[in-house]
């Protein structure tokens, strides 16, 4: 194996975190900001890219940085190396309510494609790259644009998503239609495209967008029930505009509720 072999445990329900056990000289790489806690004896180091090409010189490092710019991620990742004599543990947390899924890349032919912000952490040696869409329609209307992340190697990687995660194993030729924002990731054999919803009423008044994502098997697909963009949109829509308090929200009284509750400041 080229990637470090790590052990792990996932804790929690709605707000999960993954605890990774490192043997001496084993390491894990993670997105900046996902760190939760670690034992003494673990050395933390900020690196360019994913750290999988540190032996390829300056050009290799610059290429790694360029890939992360295209996916909208930070230029840097953080590596956690066990420099002690015994086993040590380090933990990483989800950035919002949802689930963490462990992806064993050896089970998926060494490659897994996921949405740009799904990656959480991985064993040192796993490459975090980019996957370009070769289909114009998918690029413009697929929800994830032309660029998705690809995880390559023979180690463990961890991805997270909002709400509840569904795992679908598609038979050859089997098609799954998904909201474009609900895709978490899929294996390399899956054919990913988009499909027009169709119908004037569905398009104008359906409230579900104009396109489905179509995923054709064979392969494995992970789907999330609550994309972060949908969660953020609902929070923004419910937030009082102008910084005021809206105590009449959800009530037929509307603004009159503020008068009845005593908050009648204007």
- The 10s digit of each residue's pLDDT in 208-265 is 556 778 899 999 999 998 877 777 777 777 777 655 555 444 444 455 455 444 555 4
Backbone angles phi, psi at 161, to 5 degrees: -155, 165
Q: Is residue 265 part of a domain?
A: no
Q: Is residue 159 part of a domain?
A: yes
Angle (CA) 146-177-12 rounded to 5° is 85
**What is the predicted pLDDT for the residue at 8?**
95
Residue with tokens 């569905």: 202
| CATH of residue 206 | 3.60.160.10
Backbone angles phi, psi at 63, to 5 degrees: -65, -40
- Which range of residues forms the domain containing residue 180? 7-229
Distance CA(96)–CA(107), nearest Å, equals 27
Angle (CA) 129-130-131 rounded to 5° is 130
Q: Is residue 242 part of a domain?
A: no
Task: Quote the radius of gyration of the chain (alpha carbons, Å).
Answer: 22
Peptide bond just before 218 cis, omega within 30 deg: yes
Residues 146-157: pLDDT tens digits?
Answer: 578 889 999 999
Residues 167-215: pLDDT tens digits?
Answer: 999 999 999 998 878 889 999 999 988 777 654 544 454 445 567 788 9
Containing 167, the helix (H) or strand (E) segment is strand 165-170
The stretch 60-82 carries a mean pLDDT of 68
In this structure, the chain runs to a length of 266
State the total domains in the chain. 1
Q: Is residue 151 part of a domain?
A: yes
Average pLDDT, the chain: 78
**What is the predicted pLDDT for the residue at 95?**
84
**What is the predicted pLDDT for the residue at 97?**
86
Q: Is residue 128 part of a domain?
A: yes
Percent with pLDDT over 90 in the chain: 38
Q: Is residue 236 part of a domain?
A: no
Angle (CA) 63-75-182 rounded to 5° is 100
Q: Model's pTM, two decimal places?
A: 0.77
Which pLDDT band, with edges at 50, 70 and 90, does 120 fall under?
very high
Q: Is residue 157 part of a domain?
A: yes
Q: Is residue 244 part of a domain?
A: no
């Amino acid at each position: 194996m080229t990637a470090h072999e790590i052990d792990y445990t996932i804790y929690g329900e709605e707000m999960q975190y993954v605890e990774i056990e490192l043997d001496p000289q084993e390491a894990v790489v993670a997105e900046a900001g996902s760190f939760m806690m670690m034992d003494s004896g673990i050395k933390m180091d900020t690196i360019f890219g994913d750290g999988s090409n540190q032996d390829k010189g300056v050009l290799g490092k610059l290429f790694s940085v360029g890939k992360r710019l295209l996916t909208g991620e930070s230029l840097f990742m953080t590596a956690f190396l066990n420099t002690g004599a015994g086993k040590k543990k380090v933990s990483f947390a989800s950035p919002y309510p949802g689930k963490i899924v462990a992806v064993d890349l050896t089970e998926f032919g060494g490659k897994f494609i996921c949405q740009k912000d799904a990656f959480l952490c991985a064993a040192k040696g796993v490459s975090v790259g980019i996957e370009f869409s070769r289909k114009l329609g998918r690029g413009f209307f697929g929800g994830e644009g032309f660029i998705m992340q690809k995880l390559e190697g023979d180690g463990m990687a961890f991805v997270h998503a909002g709400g509840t995660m569904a795992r679908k194993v598609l038979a050859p030729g089997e098609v799954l239609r998904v909201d474009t924002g609900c895709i978490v990731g899929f294996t390399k054999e899956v054919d990913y495209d988009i499909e027009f919803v169709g119908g004037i009423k569905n398009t104008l008044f359906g409230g579900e967008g104009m396109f489905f994502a179509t995923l054709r098997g064979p392969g494995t697909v992970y789907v999330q029930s609550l994309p972060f963009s949908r969660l953020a949109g609902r929070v923004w829509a419910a937030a009082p505009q102008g910084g005021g308090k809206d105590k009449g929200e959800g009530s037929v009284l509307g603004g009159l509720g503020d008068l009845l509750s005593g908050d009648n400041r204007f």
